[in-house]
Chain A
Amino acid sequence: MAAAETYPDDLRYHEEHDWARVDGDEAVLGITWFAADALGELVHFEPPAAGAAVTKDASYGEVESVKAVSDVVAPLSGEVIAVNQKVVDAPETVNEDPYGEGWLIRIKLADPAEADALLDAEAYKQVLAEQ
């Protein structure tokens, strides 16, 4: 079942509908409830390779539903240290739990200060309200 709409306060958001959970010099990345709902049930996640560099504001992978393909934009720069194999095997996990089991990748941050420029939950909700 798809999750209910939420935007947790402990995450940082990118206006392209991506989130980051910063943990010291690492971060876990994923897509927001809004992005998952707009796409519909996900049926494919094309992840980056472990060790690949991801760049803030650039695409690091693709998610697909039956009808659509969408780039996944990195909210922060760094190096991929883990890919969520559960989402590769069962992409609908993202719809079911976008901020928990449905995380996409974990990165080693290139510059932890980049996170300061991201949106908090209130500011991201404002972005959604203006769409």
Chain B
Amino acid sequence: MAQTLQQTPLHDRHVALGARMVPFAGWEMPVQYEGVIPEHRAVRTDAGVFDVSHMGELEVEGPRAHELLQSLLSNDLDKIAPGQAQYTLLTNESGGIIDDLIAYRLGECHYLLIVNASNREADFRWLKEHEIHGSDVRDVSDDHALLAVQGPHAIERLGLEAAKAFTFAEATIDGVETMVNRTGYTGEDGCELLCMAEDAVRLWDGVLARGVVPCGLGARDTLRLEACYPLHGNDITPETDAISAGLGWTCALDKEFTGAETLRRIKAEGPARKLVAFVMEEKAIPRQGMAIEGGGEVTSGSHSPMLEVGIGMGYVPAAQAAPETELTIDVRGKPRKARVVKKPIYKGEG
């Protein structure tokens, strides 16, 4: 039975712009407008805007909200004050990654979590199951729209002042009240604008009128892959752990949180395999699921619009994880050479 796809408040705007719409995590989303490559380059050289209203927003509030989240999220929320944000993981008992997300500290006892669309329900369920007296968890996703405005000129085009990464503030942009989050998923400067769903069209039109290029999920994926940001469901999953994924820096192993004990052990013993970034040495495009000789597997792969070669990430045995190690990838039966590189694969000018 066909499942009805959800639509963001900007659906009709995307269709009017000639976007190619595709199903993604239960939503009908624009994968591209003009094309993945020109959109990717717009973000690397100027500014692009992505409708990411499919992402989930969960609010956690109450006198014990901080305590609840400290016990469930891997990073240390004591390190951030109201007005600051933090990249963190929701972990299970075996140290696996239920989701990766950004926690925004709205107040001493009030957090907003922006989570992956595909994990919104799992995250909400997990938080509800672990809720304690004095903490209230609410799914407020449907109230909001989220626009990611990214690129070296994004902030200037929006008429905003520069601000530190992982901070946020309220601002009125083109008459719309927004929460301006200095976060993103492209490796470029920029921000993510959270507004009420009913204001989304006005904000979108205003941002486009400022000369920002509409960009689809296709470019979002190639941008994040060049920047080596993991994609949950591909590179990190409930079966993979943060240490093997190179996300040990998001885990405050000196505090107690779900799975911390397992993660301490993996860290002490050293992970058996590691998530590495690689660049193809031969003409070929790696894809998710391809085998890497020696027991590894590609978890994300595509063509780099900036480097114009195949790039990817994947898990390899720890002995193959050092930069410059040569890998052989099975590209539909043909062995193709790749080389492990330091992350990120491509670093923006800004």
Binding site for B on A (CB under 8 A): 2, 40-41, 43-44, 46, 62, 64-67, 69, 88
Q: Are A67 and B31 in contact (CB under 8 A)?
A: yes
Query: Number of A-B pairs whose CB atoms are under 8 Å?
Result: 39
- Contact flags B286-313 to A (C-beta < 8 A → 1, else 0): 0100000000000000110100101000
Q: Are A66 and B218 in contact (CB under 8 A)?
A: yes
Q: Are B287 and A41 in contact (CB under 8 A)?
A: no
Q: Are B32 and A40 in contact (CB under 8 A)?
A: yes
Does residue B102 face the partner (Cβ distance < 8 Å to A)? no
Bound CA span A40–B19, Å? 12
Q: How far is the CB of A93 from chain B (nearest CB, A)?
A: 14
Q: Are A41 and B36 in contact (CB under 8 A)?
A: yes
Q: Are B285 and A64 in contact (CB under 8 A)?
A: yes
Binding site for A on B (CB under 8 A): 31-32, 35-37, 218, 222, 283-285, 287, 302-303, 305, 308, 310, 332, 334
Known A40-B35, A44-B283; 15 more pairs at CB < 8 Å = A2-B35, A41-B36, A43-B285, A43-B303, A44-B285, A44-B310, A46-B334, A62-B332, A64-B303, A66-B36, A66-B37, A66-B222, A66-B302, A67-B36, A69-B332
Residues of B within 8 A of A2 (CB): 35
Bound CA span A40–B302, Å? 14
Residues of A within 8 A of B218 (CB): 40, 66-67
Q: Are B284 and A66 in contact (CB under 8 A)?
A: no
Bound CA span A48–B302, Å? 22
Residues of B within 8 A of A69 (CB): 285, 287, 332
Most buried by B among A44, A66, A67: A66
Q: How far is the CB of A102 from chain B (nearest CB, A)?
A: 16
Q: How far is the CB of B337 from chain A (nearest CB, A)?
A: 15
Q: How far is the CB of B336 from chain A (nearest CB, A)?
A: 10
Bound CA span A103–B283, Å? 19
Q: Are A40 and B36 in contact (CB under 8 A)?
A: yes
Residues of A within 8 A of B32 (CB): 40
Q: How far is the CB of A1 from chain B (nearest CB, A)?
A: 10
Residues of B within 8 A of A64 (CB): 285, 303
Residues of A within 8 A of B303 (CB): 43-44, 64-66
Residues of A within 8 A of B310 (CB): 44
Q: Give the 3 A-B CB pairs with smallest separation, nearest first.
A: A43-B303, A66-B36, A66-B303
Q: How far is the CB of A92 from chain B (nearest CB, A)?
A: 8
**18 A-B residue pairs with CB within 8 Å:** A40-B36, A41-B37, A43-B285, A44-B284, A44-B285, A44-B310, A46-B334, A62-B332, A64-B285, A64-B303, A65-B303, A66-B37, A66-B305, A67-B31, A67-B218, A67-B302, A69-B287, A88-B283
Bound CA span A69–B288, Å? 12
Q: How far is the CB of B292 from chain A (nearest CB, A)?
A: 18
Q: How far is the CB of A57 from chain B (nearest CB, A)?
A: 19
Residues of B within 8 A of A46 (CB): 284, 334
Residues of A within 8 A of B283 (CB): 44, 88
Residues of A within 8 A of B36 (CB): 40-41, 65-67
Bound CA span A43–B32, Å? 16
Residues of B within 8 A of A67 (CB): 31, 36, 218, 302
Q: Are A41 and B285 in contact (CB under 8 A)?
A: no
Bound CA span A67–B196, Å? 32
Residues of B within 8 A of A66 (CB): 36-37, 218, 222, 302-303, 305
Most buried by B among A43, A44, A46, A62: A43
Residues of A within 8 A of B37 (CB): 41, 43, 66
Bound CA span A62–B331, Å? 11
Bound CA span A124–B285, Å? 31
Q: How far is the CB of A42 from chain B (nearest CB, A)?
A: 10
Q: How far is the CB of B42 from chain A (nearest CB, A)?
A: 14
Q: Select from chain B the residue with minimum beta-carbon distance to A38.
A: B20
Bound CA span A64–B284, Å? 9
Q: How far is the CB of A98 from chain B (nearest CB, A)?
A: 15
Bound CA span A67–B220, Å? 12
Q: Select from chain B the residue with minimum beta-carbon distance to A45.
A: B283
Q: Are B35 and A41 in contact (CB under 8 A)?
A: yes
